[in-house]
Amino acid sequence: MNNESIFKSSFSTYIKLFIKEKHSLGYKYESESRRLQHFDCYCFTHGNLNKLTQQCIENYLISDSNRSAGTKQNIIGVLRQFAFFLIRNGQDASVYPLEMIPKKEKLYRPYIFTHDEIKKLISEAEHIRANNRFPTRHQTLPLIYRTLYCCGVRISEVLNLTIDRVDFSSGILLLSGTKDYRDRVIPLSDEMLERYSDYYSRTHATSSGDTYFFRSDYDKPYSTQAIANNFKQMLWKCGISYGGRKKGPHLHSLRHTFSVHCLQKAMAEGRDLKEFLPILSAYLGHKSLQGTQKYLHLTAELYPDILSKLDEYCGDIIPKAGDFLE
């Protein structure tokens, strides 16, 4: 990370010193540095704020309505440490009160689709009809749903994808600005690459590189809510019960399902999970193995026949059973 060019706000000098101190103490401080970079950019573009106050932090937290309570906790944790650093260096700063930190949402058990349910959903998506009001929707939505399951990506990552981030020659998607601000490379299977190429030739004949790849019929990026609403209709048509906002299934359930199905396949093939798990974790963009390990119990519960393999290959890294929220 080139600190000299990344940080631009009034806090830039102290942020660089703060990160340098963390590195000197042996911390990698990578994701935390990215959070500080994002906060620095926010301050620079919102009047170049010059004092770290509670109100400043609260305004930053609500600037992205999609942040979960867990994400807000992580942000506050970093900014509290930065505030202590500023105070130690003679600067006026407010330490965000512990009692004001948002509580995490009630944990839930992710819905994992069966292979048969996935086939039904994909088939239903492929049968979305064209109409005069939405002339390209029947081409766009099926590929979005396929991408969510076949690539295990987040819906925000799909909708933010631009044409210049699809490398047709190498068959990869280049994801940038994702959760925790980490970039990722997602390889496409031959079948998915063919579908992407066909979709591009049908819908982007005159588009520029910065055009959203999945563009709505209003010439704007699709909204998450529009994709989610159509997904609920598909669930109903496929006879899959929707348990409500807190229970799902949701769009994110396709990502959970991808992860569990990948683990199922790896274990069925006899792969060494201690080697496979870090690969899957990096592919999913998880900050640590902890986020990926939680899928192991779900896999074991759904496929009891491979539970013995779990114990044999990675019994020492299986976390305790329980619900989780990614």
CATH of the domain at 279: 1.10.443.10
* Block residue for tokens 């396709």: 254
DSSP state, residue 318: P
Residue 132 belongs to domain spanning: 106-326
**DSSP class per residue in 217-285:** TTSSBPPHHHHHHHHHHHHHHTTPPP--TTT---THHHHHHHHHHHHHHHHHTT--HHHHHHHHHHHHT
pLDDT, tens only, 92-106:
999 999 888 887 655
Q: How far is CA 113 from each of CA 182, 194, 241, 250, 252, rounded to the nearest angstrom? A: 28, 25, 11, 11, 11
280 and 152 co-located in one domain: yes
| Residue 324 pLDDT greater than 50, yes or no | no
Q: Which two tokens stand for residue 212?
A: 């959203």
Q: Quick one: 71 and 115 in the same domain? A: no
Residue ending a domain, among 100, 134, 160, is 100
Residue 297 pLDDT grade (very low, low, confident, very high; cuts 50, 70, 90): low
> CB-based contacts of 181: which residues, under 8 Å, 6+ apart?
31, 34, 35, 37, 38
Using DSSP, state whether 184 is helix, strand or coil: strand
Count of domains observed in the chain: 2
Q: Do 94 and 122 reside in the same domain of the chain?
A: no
* Structure confidence by residue, pLDDT tens digits, 223-263: 899 999 999 999 999 999 987 766 779 999 999 899 888 88
Q: How large is the greatest C-alpha to C-alpha distance in the chain, in angstroms?
A: 64
CA atoms of 80 and 54, how far apart (whole Å): 10
C-alpha to C-alpha distance for 104 and 272, rounded to whole angstroms: 34
Both 83 and 135 in one domain: the answer is: no
Tokens for 196? 């992407």
**181 pLDDT above the threshold of 50:** yes
Same domain for 59 and 136, yes or no, is: no
Q: Band of the pLDDT at 321, cuts 50, 70, 90?
A: very low
Are 141 and 176 contained in the same domain?
A: yes
pLDDT in tens, 206-216: 889 999 999 88
Quickly list H helices, the chain. 3-6, 12-24, 30-45, 54-61, 69-88, 115-126, 137-151, 155-159, 190-203, 224-237, 252-268, 273-284, 289-302, 307-314
What is the reported pLDDT for 325? 33
* Confidence band for 293, pLDDT divided at 50, 70 and 90: low
Which of 100, 133, 148 is the last residue before a domain boundary? Answer: 100
Q: Which residues contact 301 (CB under 8 A, 6 or more apart)?
A: 321
Among 45-49, 162-166, 249-253, name the one with the lowest average pLDDT.
45-49
